[in-house]
Structures are given as C-alpha cells and as structure tokens.
Chain A
Amino acid sequence: DAKTTQPNSMESNEEEPVHLPCNHSTISGTDYIHWYRQLPSQGPEYVIHGLTSNVNNRMASLAIAEDRKSSTLILHRATLRDAAVYYCIPGNSGNTPLVFGKGTRLSVIA
C-alpha cells in the first residue's frame, strides 16, 4: 500500500477556500487517488477520486501533481458542515481495498 502524509489538523474560516494536501510519493502507476471524509459520529463518505487529471464534482475539486506524488483536495467555500476528518487514500484499483491513513482533521470557524 502506498504511504500517505497529511497534516494532522487544519483550520479554515467559513466561506473561505480550503486546500488539503496529501503526499503519496510511493503511489504506483495504476493507483487512483481517493478522498473520503468522516463527519463526527458517522461512517466515512466518498468525496472524490482521480488518476492523473484534475477532477471536479459538486463537493470538491482534486488537483493531482504531474508526477502524481501529491494531491490537493480543494473545498471552494468551507461551511460548518465540512468540519470532518479528511482521508487521502491511494489504491483501490483492481482488487486492493481502501486502507485509511491518519487523515487531516478540518475545523471550520464561523
């Protein structure tokens, strides 16, 4: 499994953009980069995933470095409901399961 490095915690003001970084320097060429988040007292939920190109969906954007050794999850306007632990997870291509790292705890301040 590719190892990941994420900040333990980050803080953002409400309605400001948030950039959550992740280093995954040992990622293999066929691994996708997935992001999940876990709100308090809930199971994790899917946010976004990508392989090489930047990706956008209704929740967030994913910027992937050209060498794929790092990626950044972008929340364009943080809300209080975005306060959660965000996990960056390379892999899950073929038959490899999701393995969670420590993640980044995002706090959003009103």
Chain B
Amino acid sequence: DAMVIQNPRYQVTQFGKPVTLSCSQTLNHNVMYWYQQKSSQAPKLLFHYYDKDFNNEADTPDNFQSRRPNTSFCFLDIRSPGLGDAAMYLCATSRQTGRGTEAFFGQGTRLTVV
C-alpha cells in the first residue's frame, strides 16, 4: 500500500493560474519535504516541515508556498506558475531520529504549464 500519496499524478495548469499540489502520508512521520525535479536533473529541495516548523531553502522562489494543516497532509502552492516551473514535484517524509533515517517518497506530480 502506498504510504506517501501525491495527487494528482499529472497536473496541467495555465500560465499565471494558481495551482495546488497535495501530498498525504500514512506513516505519521514528523518531517515532510517538497522537491522539484526538472528533466535529467537531481531533485532540488524547496522546503520542509519538521512538525509545524517550516524551513524554506534560501533559493526557493517566493512564488512557491507550502501549508501543512496536520501531520498527514502537506500542500505545495504555486501562486503564479511560469513556464519554468514545469517539473516533477516530489513529496517525501521521514521520521527524524538523529540517527540517520529512511525517507519515503511519493510517485510525484508532473506539472505542465501551458
């Protein structure tokens, strides 16, 4: 059974039209991450939550926001998508133990901007 679920798998949005990607987890993990992955590149960390504490990467554009209303759900909001935001968006979770930990990734949402 899938433990990190991303919906939808494919999302098409119009240039400049706000879009929200969702992620849910059944693992009760403390940490949730959002990554952006463009074609033939490594996943790039956008931000992560440690419980309710939000941690934004310094180079994440302001156009990208996130919400975590509860432990199970996390959302990625792109306020005004540009053509350069077309990518695979990956959600991941982990339980931070301070002893090295396994992260679990969703299948990703592929975003197309038209």
Q: Which A residues contact B (CB, under 8 angstroms)? A: 32, 34, 36, 38, 42-46, 49-51, 85, 87, 92-95, 97-103
Contacts and interface: CB of A to CB of B under 8 A. Distances in A.
A97 B99 CA distance: 13
B103 interface: yes
Contacts of B4: 43
Interface residues of B, number: 26
Report whether over half of chain B's contact residues are helix, strand or loop; otherwise say mixed. Answer: strand
B109 to A, nearest CB: 10
A92 B33 contact: no
B74 interface: no
Contacts of A45: 105
Interface of B: 4, 31, 33, 35, 42-45, 48, 50, 55, 90, 92, 94, 96, 98-108
Chain B CB within 10 A, most for which of A42, A49, A51, A97: A97
A87 B103 CA distance: 13
Contacts of B105: 43-45
Nearest to A1: B45
Chain B CB within 10 A, most for which of A45, A51, A87, A95: A95
B98 A93 contact: yes
B99 A93 contact: yes
Contacts of A102: 42
A98 B92 contact: yes
Given A38-B43, A49-B102, A103-B42, 5 more contacts: A43-B108, A44-B103, A97-B55, A100-B43, A102-B42
A93 B97 CA distance: 7
A83 to B, nearest CB: 15
Given A43-B92, A43-B107, A93 B100 contact: yes
Which 4 pairs from chain A and chain B are nearest by CB?
A32-B100, A43-B105, A100-B42, A46-B102
